[in-house]
Structure 1
Amino acid sequence: MKEKQNIEFKKSWRKEYLKTIAAFANTEGGSLYIGIDDKGDALNIKNKEKLLEDLPNIIRNHLQITPSIETENIGGKEVIKISVNKLPFPIYFNGKIFRRAGSTTQEIKNEELTNFLLAKKDKTWDSLPSEAKLDDLDSSIIEEFKELAKNKFPKILTSSNERLLKNLNLLTKEHKVTKAAVLLFGKNPQDYIISAQARVGKFKTKTDIQDTIIASGNLFQQLDTIINAIRKHINVRFEIEGIKREDVWDYPIDALREAIINSLIHRDYLSTAEIQIKIYDNKLWIWNPGRLPEQLNLEDLKQEHSSFPKNPLIASIFYYAGLIEKWGSGTTRIIDSCKAQELPEPDFKEDSGGFSITFFKDIYSQENLRKMGLNDRQIKAVRYIKKNSSINMTIFKKLEPNVTEKTLYRDLQDLKNKKIIKQIGKKKGTSYELF
């Protein structure tokens, strides 16, 4: 047994561990073991009987909950196990709210605290009423949405805009316009939610900004503005197969679109920060305020997973509009798109109170290799290594049967000197890999 999100070990009891019990109740439930060290070894507990007698009152008096308290035999020694289920209301300790994140206990603060309290009331930020009126919504955008959604809802075209908004829960029971409706269909959403926009920048270095574009308006407009801004600052080449010509961008546009939609849907709109997109010569970085939901970790994103949208009303509209497919599969499609274009796997991170995804350019594209001064044989060798991990002289000779071994050896040595490839092994066992 190891420590994890729902299990924690303590050598002995201390009052400060009440926050761990509170955190379990605020997250997914869990068990606190008293009498086990960090290695998972059971210890002898002093005054065990008295502690078993006192703990129920201590926990009830400070947290107003009654957990399960029992002894458990581990390694021939009796330890105390305090278990609590996830509770539908917030549990405070010393006026603060804590949660579990992995095997740690963390205080919930600021925007995360507001979202947590809303969730306990079965509400989300995007379902809250705004100060906007129905007249503040753009009927032409709603009509465009109807056209997009008609395949999923054929009767949607005959529905009045007001009835449609009601059916999609974009109007409250009191007939108030929700925050989701403002962001999706508002004429001027930033009048009500100032930071609900994105900033796209082209960077030469971290401090040398060459261009900045602000994407504002409703979320559909922001998506189009961001994509167009990115297209402006990345390269495209044309690949012809038979009679078909395909545009190949530095990064797959479908993957970028998916990542941007994710940032619009999952961002924390309580934050004063904007979505940020930074385009460098060798990578593209997308960041949105708001961490991953507590049910997911970064590794989960690399496989199909359940979806826990921070703004489910916004997510549902993007789904009905056909802009997202099956929920929980977006990140895997992003990874697959990059692999299909022979690009490195994107990097997912939680940083600066938000979530980021970094796309990496193919530095070994024919265009880049030619800019490095490589000849056609060298380009062929590097592209072969990229696809097959390594190359040796035997394979290189098969790729270039009309070229002498001396010339091919000179090509490889030049690539080695330029630190594009590295030599593995010696003599007949020599092969070459990317540096």
Structure 2
Amino acid sequence: MKFTESEIVELKSSTSELKEAIVSLSAMLNKHSKGMVYFGINDVGNVLGQQIGKSTLKDISKAISDWIEPKVYPDIQSKKIQGKDCIVVKVSGHDAVYSARGRYYLRMGEEDKKLSVDELRHLVEKKNNYAYSWGAELSDFSLSKVSVATAKKFVEKGRKAGRIEYAYDSARNVLNKIHLIKGKRLLNAGRALFCEDSGVEVQAAVFAGKDKTTFVDIQSFRGPLFGLIERCEVYAKEHINWRADLSGSTRVEIPEVPVRAMKEAIINSLCHRDFYNPKTNEIAIYRDRIEIYNPGQFPFDHDPDEFIAGHGKSYPRNPLIAEAFYLAKDIERWGSGLRRIKEECDAAGVKVAFEKVSTGFQVTFYRPEGVMDQVVVRKGGQKRWSGLTKKQTIVLEQIEKKPEISRKELAHILGINPSAVQKHIQGLKDKGYMRRIGPDKGGHWEVVKG
């Protein structure tokens, strides 16, 4: 028999490594609610044997009792393995988060990871199935703060999806049915979902280049989460490029990045954000990519690839919010969001990345190469400036915002030299889209077409 280490098995050459073994036991308890340590087998699986005295097993039991909190009761046995004396220690426990000598660890593969404060909080929430999450806490808001229009729309969407059977009669009854009100006060999740003063903010911006040096547009959205989904989706759609497919009998407009994938990422970011984190959700649109950031760390004991492959178990940080999104069919199925984003992007030939960052989680959509030179048939949902290149469209947009803008400023925004800007300006003037009012110094541009 070949012995190997795993997430529930640790190998130790001898009891001289007892302290490290106890750390491993606590880490395995926190990850899998069970664990096993062999003494007398080294970490590559070679059986060395272990000297066993009269008090050896008792000493191991006492050390585990002294150093692991809360208490666990190990099964400790001496065994002959390949003719040599070894010791096998087994533990199990389901009711708590376990510490070893006052510190907390989690088994990650064959390693024991020491947990940060945020990681420990997440583990405690997970162990309690998020029953004591932010959303379940009482807010200071009464029923009078609820947006009736939002509550009515929620019921309408749920009935249309076949996930809600009741009709709207009052905001109180709706929130009672989905457990978002206690007495006269809303739970935090109820406030976030249904109040205009939700306490939730999303910052959205369009940047001229590939970093945050120069922004073209910046906005801040506040309101109920259901409304934020719609506003963020509209913002993203307004600031990406669309092309026309004329191969069929009807004209079809195709976005450079799948809209359904972006919406799924937006919903995911709002549903799984950490409301204890003071940072805001963000949508950042750069020349080469779109980033959707969520101030809520991805489960540190899991990897996004597990969920993309369909193997990850859903752990909603905000179960009350997730349930409301599900009833309204903003969430299709539990734990399937990342997979649907990946499938949509693969079908469209768009590269997407899922990244665990230090303060949260980020989905990045990479805009197709050469997009700045493609013909734009629709920008921002408006039928404007058909047939112009992306650069020409940006020139007109910038002139509308700042008529006195200089060629140098336009060059910086477009990422080209001033002489190239002049060619675009001349082309737009020749086509009648813009004109110069006044002299080069002291004058300004004017958009005259579109």
* TM range, smaller chain: 0.7 to 0.9
Per the alignment, in what secondary structure is the counterpart of residue 245 of structure 2? strand
Q: How many residues align?
A: 363
Choose the corresponding residue for 1:34, options 34, 39, 43.
39
Percent identity between the two aligned chains? 27
Q: Distance in 2 between matches of 1:54 and 1:136?
A: 61
* Gap regions ≥5 residues in structure 2: 377-450
Q: Distance in 2 between matches of 1:24 and 1:271?
A: 28
Per the alignment, in what secondary structure is the counterpart of residue 132 of structure 1? strand
Tell me which residue corresponds to 1:420.
none
Tell me which residue corresponds to 1:22.
26
Q: Write out per-residue CA displacement over residues 245-272 of structure 1, whole angstroms, 9 at most, x where no aligned residue.
A: 2221121000010011111111222222
Choose the corresponding residue for 1:168, options 158, 178, 186.
178
CA distance 1:255–1:121, change in 2 (3 Å): closer
Per the alignment, in what secondary structure is the counterpart of residue 267 of structure 1? coil
CA distance 1:48–1:282, change in 2 (3 Å): farther
Aligned runs of 1:66-145 on 2, under 5 Å? 66-71=73-78, 77-122=84-129, 123-125=131-133, 126-145=135-154
Per the alignment, in what secondary structure is the counterpart of residue 131 of structure 1? strand
**Aligned partners of 2:297 and 2:356 also within 8 Å:** yes
Q: Write out per-residue CA displacement over residues 93-146 of structure 1, whole angstroms, 9 at most, x where no aligned residue.
A: 333333233433233333443343344445141222222222222222111111
**Aligned partners of 1:24 and 1:84 also within 8 Å:** no
Q: Distance in 2 between matches of 1:355 and 1:298?
A: 10
Residue 352 of structure 1: CA displacement? Answer: 0.9
Residue 185 of structure 1: CA displacement? Answer: 0.6
What letter corresponds to residue 193 of structure 2 in structure 1?
L
Tell me which residue corresponds to 1:414.
none
CA distance 1:5–1:199, change in 2 (3 Å): farther
**Aligned partners of 1:26 and 1:90 also within 8 Å:** yes
Residue 19 of structure 1: CA displacement? Answer: 2.8
* Gap regions ≥5 residues in structure 1: 191-195, 371-435
Greater Cα shift, 76-85 or 312-321: 76-85
Residue 287 of structure 1: CA displacement? Answer: 2.2
Q: Write out per-residue CA displacement over residues 202-247 of structure 1, whole angstroms, 9 at most, x where no aligned residue.
A: 2313241313222322212222232232223321112134333222
Q: Distance in 2 between matches of 1:185 and 1:78?
A: 65
Q: Distance in 2 between matches of 1:207 and 1:48?
A: 66
Choose the corresponding residue for 2:5, options 3, 6, 17.
3
Q: Distance in 1 between matches of 2:291 and 2:4?
A: 36
Matching of residue 343 in structure 1 with residue 350 in structure 2: yes
Matching of residue 236 in structure 1 with residue 242 in structure 2: yes
Q: Distance in 1 between matches of 2:330 and 2:354?
A: 21
**Aligned partners of 2:38 and 2:86 also within 8 Å:** yes
Aligned runs of 1:389-408 on 2, under 5 Å? none
TM-score scaled by length of structure 1: 0.75
Choose the corresponding residue for 1:149, options 126, 138, 158.
158
Aligned Cα RMSD in Å?
A: 2.8
Per the alignment, in what secondary structure is the counterpart of residue 177 of structure 1? strand
Per the alignment, in what secondary structure is the counterpart of residue 98 of structure 1? strand
Q: Distance in 2 between matches of 1:170 and 1:80?
A: 52
Residue 77 of structure 1: CA displacement? Answer: 4.1
Matching of residue 297 in structure 1 with residue 303 in structure 2: yes
What letter corresponds to residue 262 of structure 1 in structure 2?
N
What letter corresponds to residue 168 of structure 1 in structure 2?
I
Q: Write out per-residue CA displacement over residues 324-345 of structure 1, whole angstroms, 9 at most, x where no aligned residue.
A: 212222222111111211223x
CA distance 1:154–1:280, change in 2 (3 Å): closer
